[in-house]
Chains A and B, each alone.
Chain A
Amino acid sequence: MAVIVDLAVQGVQMLLVLLLAPLLTGLVRKVKARLLLRQGPSLIQPYRDLARLMRKEVVLAENASWLFRVIPYLIFAATWVAASLVPTVRTGLMFSWSADLIAIIALLGSARFFLALAGLDVGTSFGGIGSSREVMIASLAEPAMIMIVFTVALIAGSTQLSTMAAFLVSSEVGLRVSLGLALIALIMVAIAENARIPVDNPATHLELTMVHEAMVLEYSGRHLALIDLTASLKLLLYVSLIACIFTPWGLVPAGAGAGTLAVGLTAYVAKLAVGGVLLAVFETSIAKMRVFRVPEFLGAALMLGLLATLLLFVSRSF
């Protein structure tokens, strides 16, 4: 019986992240529009976009290879698996032990690796520019992320997200310098990884400033729908991750009843909404930076992460 419940929870979690992801993207867009005194598209517009794109035919470049057609499914699968392993409502997910936080980061790395290859497949200059800038950003964002993982893992004594969340919610961790540094670094990395302002602009149509959009320029129809869905999933994953590590309140421990689960779900949705609104406010209040300022931005994140880890190596109480 317990196994069935666990399995059901894991299945619900997988569906939950998939269903909520476009809503979060819609929320960010809506809030951004309202802040700019525009009406903005409806909250459920991303769902409509996805449905429309899925029904359209794919227009494939003549010299696109089989890899180009496989990659949308591949990156979707990697990101979905990663997103469904981050505790959202309940800790102790059935398969959470199959990949720890380092593996989740690496799964996102796999998705990026293949998306960057997709940018090079058709052999256009825009695809190339997007890919080469994406790997430059990733080459700094990924080590910064690993350093953040180190920090949290050293405090919690585990790289398992479920154990981490359970530890952080149950014990008196208190305010810690290293956690504060890690939070700032994680937010910086999350902004870069999700191609948000100031690193990249998800709504841009000015070609020379594009990174993510340039890589996926040749995609259309259902392939593009999957890539958009993957981007939404990734945003949701990072917001869930920040929520799970730094605001673990409301996370339901394994084996809780239905009432507690409902509270947990409400808390999670509220956290997502707060995260989305904060992101929108941040994006509206800042200008996009030049591409070659990005390394400084991410280098700062890397140094913050390294500093946080170093503090923990020096003393367990920082």
Chain B
Amino acid sequence: MAPVLWALACAAALIASAPIAVALGDTPQARPAVYGICLTASLALLAIALLALLGVSDTTSVATLPLGIPWLGAHFRLDALAAFFLAVVNLGAAAASLFALGYGRHEQAPGRVLPFYPAFLGGMSLVVLADDAFTFLVAWEFMSLSSWALVMAHHRVADNVRAGYVYLIMASFGTLALLLTFGLLAGADGGYAFADIRAAHPSAMTAASVLVLALVGAGSKTGLVPLHVWLPLAHPAAPSHVSALMSGVMTKVAIYGFVRIVFDLLGPPDWWCSMVVLALGGVTAVMGVLYALMQHDLKRLLAYHTVENIGIIFIGLGLALAFKHYGMSLAAALALTAGLLHVFNHSVFKSLLFFGAGAVLTQTGERDMEHLGGLIHRMPQTAFVFLVGCAAISALPPLNGFVSEWLTFQAILLSPQLPSWGLKFLVPAVGALLALSAALAAACFVKAFGVTFLGRPRTPAAAAAQETDRFSLAAMFFFAALCLVAGILPGFFIDALAPVVQGLVGARMPVQRGVEWLSIVPIAESRSSYNGLLVFVFMVASGMLAAFAIHRLASDRLRRAPPWDCGYPDANPATQYSASSFAQPIRRVFGTVVFRAREHVEMPPPGDGRPARFTVDLRDVIWDALYAPVAGGVGLAADRLNHLQFLTIRQFLSLVFAALVLLLMVLAIWP
């Protein structure tokens, strides 16, 4: 049987377990049964994807099932690109299912989570496998709606209702854009199979429209600024393992959609298209991390930070588009590999961080960092893996986040050879934005880890936290180990991406497997190389050497005493730096422009007993400038049209008649 059929069977098993979950209802067996099935099916899909990606089984296999539109059927295909994203999706899905085996115990409404969870997983795998526009869009909507149901799992929380509402609107909008994308791609003849689309050669105008529409459609799902507004609302609202999947994996499915349409289906687009992608990527990266820095809700901070990483990925993709257009296929391969490697890396550490946030949430009942603190003493293992995730996402060597950012920087350094003047000015600016976002990300995660896990507990709930369960820890430790392995042995991961990149830009990065000492060499050794393994070994060795020498030769005595704090320690935990105060310097530097941040101090006069008050006013400029007018316009129109509901039957009939006459006239006048 072809690998794609096996994959479809697993996806079908996932979707079929949704009714099983409904049948089991609220029984105690439901949770282990559903998550067990999901874990098994995801692992099977992961194995299928890896076998295809590494070339053990057939790299490309296709299948057509007699489903959907009668004359079209449902086409499925597993090629290198699909295999890579299938692996990313199911790695995240398997870990999330493992995590949920423990985490799901704390779910108050399992009946609202269990049926939709496997459907969501199945939907994501089907999007990646789809090989015609119809199947793709159906799977895409299936994924959107099942994740929407999961966002609404805790629907009694007022914020979640709004999150679900905004998500639904943005998801519909995105699908509309994709629908138009495929409509343009398929042309007037309606060749909806991807093979037909690939064979067609759209005009330059069509290609540009397709690129913009794909950017809007996939971008609204993946959180590209300014289409990111739903993401920080919806991702945190879902249960944490679903948040991890939405942030770590579903955004990658959207990136898959973009890559599939722009690199594979569409012919070479105009040169300026890459500029749009690059500029959006750069802005997204910086805006995402600045938003994240202003948050004190742990899960919302992580969701905003996804926006930043999506920006980094899009910078890689934009560079690849530019290089591809000018025929620099080696550079395009480097940029695309950087982007795709970041797709994998981000799915790993973002899932890990959401798992950690979920563990904190179940143990303390708090998502607000201002109510946490000191958890490193109560939850040492969670703290350790969360720290690994924070270091990885902050692009610190020798972990994995650094490798993909390093590759992106290397790709940027190749871009002076690009002949276009627009790109010559844009690329260095994007490089500066990337560097800025990397530095701000480190600041953001010092805050996230420092305020949540370090210091003293700010509430009794934080002080009474316990270590989380074994399933959750297993999932988190697995991903933490993966962060390290992908960081110190990146060559294997780059080689695994080679067939994907080869298929999309017609070249691949040099083989890394044979390089001495397992270094990675993107172009030539005299130009740049990096060896995570050696850096890691050196760091461990010199740290151990220092510790050994000092403990042996000097002193190893230690005494516990009250904190020093310049002689004025205050026992009240409220005197610690909080999340907002930690971000205050950065808010002052960047926020006054970007968020129109204003600080108000209300100081009562001497003798007045009232407490002094300090408030910060932040505006979301993108919401104010873009969404508020649209929402206002829609509301106004709805108010005006409202009285149409109260017409008499005579008025209704004349309205219908008038509409009919109008449409007939339009038809008559139409050339």
Interface residues of A (CB under 8 A from B): 51, 54-63, 65-67, 73-74, 76-78, 80-81, 95, 97-100, 102-103, 106-107, 109-110, 112-113, 116-117, 119-129, 131-133, 135-136, 138-143, 146-147, 150, 153-154, 157-160, 163, 207, 217-218, 221-222, 225-226, 291-292, 295, 302, 305-306, 309-310, 312-314, 316
Contacts and interface: CB of A to CB of B under 8 A. Distances in A.
A160 B529 contact: yes
Most buried by B among A95, A103, A106, A312: A106
Contact of B450 (A120, A142, A291, A314): A120
Nearest to B531: A98
A314 B550 CA distance: 52
B561 A131 contact: no
Nearest to B563: A61
Interface in B544-558: 546-547, 550, 553-555, 557-558
A113 B557 CA distance: 27
Most buried by B among A74, A109, A207, A313: A313
A181 B435 CA distance: 18
Interface string B553-589: 1110111111111100110010111000111111011
A138 B569 CA distance: 28
Contacts of B80: none
A78 B435 contact: no
B519 A97 contact: yes
A131 B432 contact: no
B456 A313 contact: no
Interface string B436-471: 101110110111011100111000000000000000
Interface of B: 373-374, 376-377, 380, 383, 387, 391, 394-397, 402, 406, 409-410, 412-413, 415-416, 424-425, 427-429, 431-432, 435-436, 438-440, 442-443, 445-447, 449-451, 454-456, 517, 519, 525-531, 534-535, 538-540, 542-543, 546-547, 550, 553-555, 557-566, 569-570, 573, 575-577, 581-586, 588-589
Contacts of B439: 109, 138-143
A309 to B, nearest CB: 4
Given A58-B559, A292-B589, 16 more contacts: A61-B561, A76-B543, A97-B519, A98-B517, A99-B397, A99-B535, A103-B397, A109-B442, A110-B396, A113-B442, A117-B449, A124-B565, A146-B432, A226-B546, A226-B550, A295-B589
A123 B397 contact: no
Given A58-B558, A58-B559, A146-B409, A131 B529 contact: no
A128 B558 contact: no
A131 B428 contact: no
Contacts of A74: 539, 543
A98 B535 contact: yes
Given A132-B577, A136-B586, A313 B562 contact: no
Contact of A117 (B374, B450, B550, B569): B450
A123 B427 contact: no
A292 B542 CA distance: 37
| Majority secondary structure, A binding face | helix
Contacts of A58: 555, 557-559
26 contacts: A55-B554, A60-B559, A60-B560, A60-B561, A61-B560, A62-B560, A62-B561, A76-B542, A77-B542, A98-B529, A98-B538, A109-B394, A113-B446, A117-B454, A123-B374, A123-B455, A124-B564, A127-B577, A133-B585, A141-B439, A143-B436, A146-B438, A158-B527, A217-B565, A302-B436, A313-B428
Contacts of A138: 439, 442-443
Contacts of A129: 577
Given A98-B535, A113-B446, A131 B577 contact: yes
Nearest to A61: B563
Contacts of B550: 54, 222, 225-226
Contacts of A135: 442-443, 446-447, 582, 585-586
A6 to B, nearest CB: 13
Contact of B455 (A122, A141, A302): A122
Contacts of B519: 97-98
A106 B435 contact: no
B435 A142 contact: yes
A99 B585 contact: no
Most buried by B among A133, A139, A163: A139
A131 B443 CA distance: 9
Contact of B431 (A122, A159, A163, A309): A309
Given A157-B527, A160-B529, A306 B432 contact: yes
Contact of B528 (A141, A147, A158, A313): A158
Contacts of A312: 416
A127 B581 CA distance: 12
A140 B230 CA distance: 29
Nearest to A219: B564
Contacts of A100: 528-530
Closest 8 CB pairs of A and B: A128-B577, A123-B455, A120-B450, A77-B543, A143-B435, A136-B585, A57-B557, A135-B443
B409 A158 contact: no
Given A117-B450, A221-B555, A128 B576 contact: yes
Most buried by A among B534, B566, B570, B573: B566
A7 to B, nearest CB: 13
A23 to B, nearest CB: 19
A131 B450 contact: yes
Contacts of B443: 135-136, 138-139
Contacts of B380: 66
A113 B439 CA distance: 10
Contact of B395 (A76, A106, A121): A106
A80 B549 CA distance: 15
Contact of A143 (B432, B526, B554): B432
Contacts of B455: 120-123, 128
A113 B555 contact: no
Nearest to B587: A136
Contact of B577 (A125, A141, A158, A302): A125
Contact of A113 (B391, B412, B585): B391
B534 A59 contact: no
Given A63-B377, A103-B535, A73 B526 contact: no
A168 to B, nearest CB: 14
A123 B573 contact: yes
Most buried by B among A74, A100, A119, A163: A100
Contacts of B376: 65-67, 121
A116 B562 CA distance: 21
Contacts of A291: 585
B69 to A, nearest CB: 50
Most buried by A among B406, B554, B559, B583: B554
A264 B104 CA distance: 65
A76 B425 contact: no
Nearest to B395: A106
A98 B513 CA distance: 16
Contacts of B540: 77
B428 to A, nearest CB: 4
Contacts of B543: 73-74, 76-77
Contact of A310 (B383, B428, B569): B428
Contacts of B451: 120
Contact of B373 (A66, A98, A123): A123
Contacts of B526: 158, 160, 163
Contacts of A309: 428, 431-432
A131 B446 CA distance: 9
B405 to A, nearest CB: 8
Nearest to B445: A113
B446 A107 contact: no
B454 A120 contact: yes
Most buried by A among B416, B446, B588: B446
Contacts of B424: 313-314
A102 B406 contact: yes
Contacts of A98: 517, 519, 529-531, 534-535, 538
